[in-house]
Each structure stands twice: as structure tokens, then as C-alpha cells.
Structure 1
Amino acid sequence: MNLRSLRYFEALGTELNYRRAAEKLFITQPALSAAIQNLERVIGDRLFDRDTRSVSLTATGREWLPHVRSALAGVDAALEAVALLVDYGHVRLGYLIGTGADLLFQLLDGVETVFPDITVETIEYDFSDPTAGLASGATDIALLRPPVDVPDMQLAIVAEESWVACLPRSHRLAAREELRIEELLDEPIVVAPKSAGRWREYWYAADARGGKEPQIAAEAATYEAEATLVSRGVGLSFTTSSMVRLYDRPGIQFVPITDRPVSYTAIAWRPERLTTPARRLVEHMVSTSRPEPRD
């Protein structure tokens, strides 16, 4: 038995759904299923009753789950305490791919001079984790594009952008000066991996589809992969206006979408998990960017 298997049990015990639990853990459903089966073999009893339609805790699972949650909370507290003792001035800042091209450098400009006692480690994340490590606790602060699924998250907006369609140059709509979202909903689309959850749904415009599933042509975890698939004619994609400047490639055409809401880029954090150095860094970035605080 190991700590990872206990975290897997807690996630599935909370969600009672393999897909949601796997997405929460950033693993595949088969990997989660195998880990739970192995845990059941180790303890010698079933933890879940499952069939093709539902998952429920057994009596053993229900009784054990509060103990596991308590144990995990203790472990997390111990890890946080030792992190403060060993490397008090170290802050992990995750950023979603694309946001680091210019915004990250602006936000961190001069930080070494202002905070000589703080070391900032920057970590890039692709579309498979649009929370940029914030949900898993791998980062202390994140530069991301909402919406993302992070409990108790607070954020401050640092940039606003409009939507654009990324089309193959040979596409029948590529010569248009602007488009409406309804003109694009029946087209094959390149989307983020399933682990992106609500963020993936936002970026294939689920709210505009009236419950109809998109025609998914392929998945891409990076802008480079997305642009390559679009240029090959596999499908189109929806992205932000800054990508026109940062990721323009031969074979693709960007066209503004006029009737979509503004896309925000934000500094995000979880207040109860912020160390003092991380809090100081957040306050500095928020004050220098002069964003609007939002919950």
C-alpha cells in the first residue's frame, strides 16, 4: 500500500465516477481501475460495488474513507511544514503554455531585485492540465486562462482577449474578415485532451451547441500540435487573439469571432495553501499588473 493508492481511493470515493476521478487525478481510467483493484487485493476486501452504470462504496469503503481522508490531510500538512522548513523562500509558479510567451516575463520583471530572498521556479503546463499545477498542488501560483476546476481558487485578471477561429487556408471561410460562432459549430474541430475537463468544453464552445456534441477531429495538448493539425486540414480550432501573433504558421488563417465572450488570463492561487513568500509574490504581481480581483 502506498500514498498514491490512498489518493486514488479518496478521489474515486468522493466522485463515485471513474471518468471524473481519473480527470481529477490526471490519469487514465484504466490506470485508476487497475490501482483500485490492486488496493482491494492488498487490503483483502472490496471497496466499491460497480457495474456498467454506477459506482458505490461498499460498507468497508464507507467506513474506511474518513480515515483515509484524515491520513491524507495529515500527510499534506506534514509536507507543507517540511517545505517551509527546508526551502522557505522557494515559490513554484505554473503557467499555461502560451501565457508564458510575454505575460509571464512582464509579471516577473524585476522580481529578483524586489525579493532577493525568494527563488521563483517557473513550470510550463500544456492543455492536459489547464490549471497549471494548481489543482494538484504541484504549483503555488498559476498563470492560466479560466474557466478551470480548482476548489477555493481566487484569481486576478491580467489580460483580456477575443476569440478567433484557426482555419486551414483552404477552408471555405478562411477569406472572411469575421465570423459568428454558429457558422463554425458543425465543422470538425481540434480540441484539448479529456483531462482538461471544463476548460476543454469552454474552448469547443459547448455553451453555444445546445447540448449537441462537437465533431471532434483530433486532440492536441499544445498550440504547436493544434496549429499543425489545422494546417493539415484535419479540423479547425478556437483560440485567443494573441495566438495570431505568437503561433501563426504556414497553412493556417486566423479569423475573428465576433459573438463570443471575452477570454481572460489570470493569476490564480489557493489562499489556504499559500506560503508567506508565495503570498508576497502574488501581492506584487497583482499590484504591478493592476488587475481586477475576482473569485
Structure 2
Amino acid sequence: MKFGLRHIRYFMAVAEELHFRRAAERLGIAQPALSRAVRDLEDQLGVRLFDRTNRSVQITQAGTTFLEGCRGVINAVENTVENTRRVHDGQIGRLRIGYTDMAIAGLLPRRLKDFQAQQPGLVLQPHHDVTTAQLHKLDAGELDVGFVTGPISRLGYDQCLIQSERFVCVLYEHHPLANRSSIRLEELAHEDFVHGTSKDWEHFHAYLIPLCRRSGFVPRVVQEAFNSAGILGLVACGMGVTILTESVRGSVGAGLIVVPLEDVSEQLQTVAIWKSETPDRATTLFIDFLRRDGSS
């Protein structure tokens, strides 16, 4: 069949007006052109849509069925056009977001909640992963924005600071240092450590190892885990101590003590990172929000 939306709109105007002249005036076309278009449509369908006399136009039963379907078609087309424009404007769509343990334990949940309130049409899809894995996924186009341990020196990427956190020591409750209000990092020189693997946690280790070396030792890691929850679980078992960031206070369970490090002033940065080359509209809206929110 060769009829299109024009024929459907012409038919609907006649069906609603039940008068060819008024329908033609409503459409802004000549009445003969409208009559020809309706006849062509009837020929294409092989049915009579209207019963015409010199005095009246009545829609047939087949025409009523066709009208109901046409309304659905027009509504679907209009919704599709509107949604297409909204996707282009970043008002609907999806955002694939990566996050580390430190990011989700810190300021990220509030920022995601605030952004979602401003852009309810955008679906946020958060994925937990370590910094290294997020960078690979950003390279592969599998993430739009990553929240990673930074700063990151990476060609073709932009970033903005999300939070800076002080380092703390986490001890099991019966550890000799557990009742202290603070400790010096050098006091941990002979302790067994629990931490993430050097491969998965390399960006965190880029902070940790220089800090320890400056205090005269390299941490002796005796147990490893993939994430903070696993690390804290092993510390609670008495297998060693660990150094994380202050946001961990909200997730430590029974049997664990968090103690500040009095001689460490450095802070771990969490940054948002994304490809600098023409991000889509939804990503641009999110980045603009992060920058505004971070400066407030």
C-alpha cells in the first residue's frame, strides 16, 4: 500500500467533521484535492470509508474501525517524535555510571539522587567496579561516566573532582592500638595488612605505598580481597589491619575500630571521568550538574 500519514490525516479530518468543505478548510487545502486523496485511500484499502450523498457524509462501519486505528498511529508517531526530541535534548535516555567503593560510600549517592530529581526521564545505571576496570569500560564505550580514584592522566579524557578524603586505619577491636584516639603511620610498620590486590587496586596503592615508604616501611599484605567489604571482613577476623578512607566509617560492622592517622595529611581524590570527545546530551547534562554541584 502506498498511502501515508498525509492520507491518514486527511481521512481523520473528514471523519471528525463529516463534511468535506469544512475538513478542507481545517487542513488548508482545496476540497477537490481532499476528495481525491480520500478516494485514493479507499482504493488502496479496497473498502468504502464514507457514505456520501449531496446532503451528508456518514462514516461507514469499516471507516470507524479504520479511524480508531489511525488515531493510535498518529499518537504513536507524535510520541515517537517527541521522545526523539527529548532524547536529543538529554531529557530521556540512560546514563551508564561506574563507581568505586569510596565513591558510593561518600558523596555519590546524594549527587545521583539530586540529579535524578532534576532529570526524572533519564535512567541511571550504576555499576560497581575498581578504577582500572572502569577505565577499560570507558575506552570500550561500555560506560558514560566513571567515578574513580584519581587524578587520572589519560589522553582524550576530562575529569572533575568529586571528593577528597583523609586516610584512616581500621583495626579489629582487640588490637593493641584499637583504644587509641589516633596513631602514627609508622606504628603500623610491623603489622600484617589486609588490602585489595595490587592489580585491581593499583590506583589506591599509588597513594598507599608512597605514604608507607615515607614512614619507613612497605606494608606487608598477607590477605587480599576485591572490595572494601571483603577487606573489612578479613580485618574483623583478626587477619591484619588496613588503611582506607574516612567514608568507611559508615560501613564498618561490629568488631572493627576506625582510628585517624595523625601524621598523614594527604587525601585520596575521587574524580568523575568521561571521554572528552563529544559526549551525548545526557552525559553533558550530568557533567554540567556535577560541576555546578561541586562548586556550590
**TM > 0.5 between the two?**
yes
Aligned to 2:97: 93
- Where structure 1 has 5 or more consecutive residues not aligned to the other structure, the ranges are 1-83
Q: TM-score when scaled to structure 2? A: 0.60
User: Is residue 2:221 matched to residue 1:216?
Assistant: yes
Aligned to 1:169: 173
Paired residues, number: 206
Q: Matched residues, percent identical?
A: 21
Q: Do the aligned partners of residues 179 and 127 (structure 1) sit closer, same or farther apart at CA in structure 2, a change above 3 Å counting?
A: farther
Question: Which one of 151, 155, 158 corresponds to residue 154 of structure 1?
Answer: 158
> In 2, distance between residues paired with 1:130 and 1:186?
34
Output the amino acid matched with 2:182.
E
User: Is residue 2:251 matched to residue 1:247?
Assistant: yes
> In 2, distance between residues paired with 1:258 and 1:272?
42
Aligned to 2:269: 264
> In 1, distance between residues paired with 2:186 and 2:140?
35
**What secondary structure does 1:216 align onto?**
strand
116-125 vs 261-270, which moves further: 116-125
Q: Which has the larger radius of gyration?
A: 2
Note the alpha carbon deviations across 1:14-46, whole angstroms, 9 max, x for none: xxxxxxxxxxxxxxxxxxxxxxxxxxxxxxxxx
Contact 2:116 2:122 in 1 (8 A): yes
User: Is residue 2:235 matched to residue 1:230?
Assistant: yes
Aligned alpha-carbon RMSD (Å): 3.1
Aligned to 2:7: none
The Cα of 1:139 is off from its aligned counterpart by: 1.2
Contact 2:212 2:218 in 1 (8 A): no
> In 1, distance between residues paired with 2:160 and 2:218?
32
User: Is residue 2:111 matched to residue 1:107?
Assistant: yes
- Where structure 2 has 5 or more consecutive residues not aligned to the other structure, the ranges are 1-86
Output the amino acid matched with 1:160.
S
The Cα of 1:181 is off from its aligned counterpart by: 1.5
**What secondary structure does 2:284 align onto?**
helix
Contact 1:107 1:289 in 2 (8 A): no
**What secondary structure does 1:109 align onto?**
helix
Output the amino acid matched with 1:234.
M
The Cα of 1:203 is off from its aligned counterpart by: 5.2
Q: Do the aligned partners of residues 237 and 264 (structure 1) sit closer, same or farther apart at CA in structure 2, a change above 3 Å counting?
A: same
Task: List 4+ stretches of structure 1 deviating above 6 A.
Answer: none
**What secondary structure does 2:164 align onto?**
strand
Q: Do the aligned partners of residues 232 and 290 (structure 1) sit closer, same or farther apart at CA in structure 2, a change above 3 Å counting?
A: same
Contact 2:160 2:291 in 1 (8 A): yes
The Cα of 1:153 is off from its aligned counterpart by: 3.5
Contact 1:160 1:265 in 2 (8 A): yes
Contact 2:148 2:273 in 1 (8 A): yes
**What secondary structure does 1:272 align onto?**
coil
